[in-house]
């Protein structure tokens, strides 16, 4: 049994923390929206602040929305660092599983390690379904020894765990993932919209495409959501928009051009303008439909 902290218990963090509790670990929990009752009933312990989590846990997981949120949890008032500073006799491992800026991640890691503790960036892919089923893909930036220490905990939450490199490498990998996923989802939306407008049954088109080289997880999952008009998240538009902002800002700093990423980012921005922040990212098809003045009709599968 390990003493584990988990900060951020939303759509993703709640089931992830639940897997750790079910495995027999003692969890100290904190969330700005309150610790879910289910986790307390399972044996988790609520704490008043990230500082308290750091005072009591040997491994601390964070799963919050954006770079400023991670910075606040780590270095803000009653943050993790204040708890770490009171620990003179033991080393703590801070594991950030949020999706945030790679360059900021490297700086956060440097500050934590300067205090004598360890830092891991381990963003995930797989959405709420992967979190609930413990099948997440986890991309890890850490030194090899620290990675081996926390890997058994990752295996309770994910299926594919890859040590990508040193601190920052996990977030770089996640940015690459979000670029690829967003462009693929947008391509699925274009293909299904085209097929429907041209007069074919889009359900049958999707079925046919799933058997060929165009098959993808995005076509399977997001294509079904588009055709069934099921836009409850999933992965929220506002978060994918945030991730593409990170991608484009990082690319700009590196002098890299990402034209298609920029286009998809603007389609997500259009979703936000239509009160779609909480929509699933498959709702990008709504903006393409508006541009085409055509909405895919409900039809028999």
Domains in the chain: ranges and CATH: 3-165 (3.40.50.720), 172-292 (1.10.1040.10)
Q: Are 23 and 156 in contact (CB under 8 A)?
A: yes
Buried-state track 217-254, b at ≥16 Cβ within 10 A, e below 16: ebbebbbebbbeeebebbbbbbbbbbbbbbbbebbeee
Burial (0-12, 13-18, 19+ Cβ within 10 Å), 165: middle
CA distances from 107 to 114, 163, 203 (A): 11, 19, 47
CA distance 291 to 63: 35
CA distance 128 to 150: 22
**Reported pTM:** 0.91
User: Which pLDDT score, from 0 to 100, does residue 78 have?
Assistant: 97
Q: Using 50, 70 and 90 to split pLDDT, how confident is the model at 300? A: low
Active site residues: 174
CA distance 133 to 136: 8
CA distance 292 to 21: 49
Name which residue leads in pLDDT, 2 or 72: 72
User: Which pLDDT score, from 0 to 100, does residue 52 have?
Assistant: 97
CA distance 121 to 140: 6
User: Which pLDDT score, from 0 to 100, does residue 190 have?
Assistant: 98
Q: Is 88 a residue whose pLDDT tops 80? A: no
CA distance 46 to 29: 5
């Amino acid at each position: 049994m390990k003493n584990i902290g988990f900060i951020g218990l939303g759509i993703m963090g709640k089931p992830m923390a639940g897997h750790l509790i079910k495995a027999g670990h003692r969890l100290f929990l904190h969330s700005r929206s309150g610790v879910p009752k289910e986790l307390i009933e399972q044996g988790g312990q609520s704490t008043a602040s990230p500082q308290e989590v750091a005072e009591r846990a040997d491994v601390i997981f964070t799963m919050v929305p954006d770079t400023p949120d991670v910075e606040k949890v780590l270095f803000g008032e009653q943050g993790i660092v204040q708890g770490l500073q009171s620990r003179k006799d033991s080393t703590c491992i801070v594991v950030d599983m949020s999706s945030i800026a790679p360059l900021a991640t490297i700086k956060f890691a440097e500050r934590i390690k300067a205090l004598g503790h360890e830092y891991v960036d381990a963003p995930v892919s797989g959405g709420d379904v992967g979190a609930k089923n413990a099948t997440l893909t986890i991309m890890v930036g850490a030194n090899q020894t620290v990675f081996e220490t926390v890997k058994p905990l990752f295996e309770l939450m994910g299926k594919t765990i890859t040590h990508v490199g040193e601190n920052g490498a996990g977030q770089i990998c996640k940015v690459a993932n979000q670029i690829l996923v967003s462009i693929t989802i947008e391509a699925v939306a274009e293909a299904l919209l085209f097929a429907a407008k041209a007069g074919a049954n889009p359900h049958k088109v999707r079925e046919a495409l799933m058997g060929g080289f165009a098959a993808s997880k995005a076509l399977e999952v997001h294509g079904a959501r588009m055709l069934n008009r099921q836009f409850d998240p999933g992965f929220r538009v506002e978060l994918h928009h945030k991730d593409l902002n990170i991608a484009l800002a990082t690319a700009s700093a590196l002098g890299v051009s990402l034209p298609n990423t920029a286009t998809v980012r603007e389609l997500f921005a259009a979703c936000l303008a239509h009160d779609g922040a909480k929509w699933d990212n498959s709702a990008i098809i709504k903006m393409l439909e508006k541009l085409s003045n055509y909405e895919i009709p409900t039809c028999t599968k």
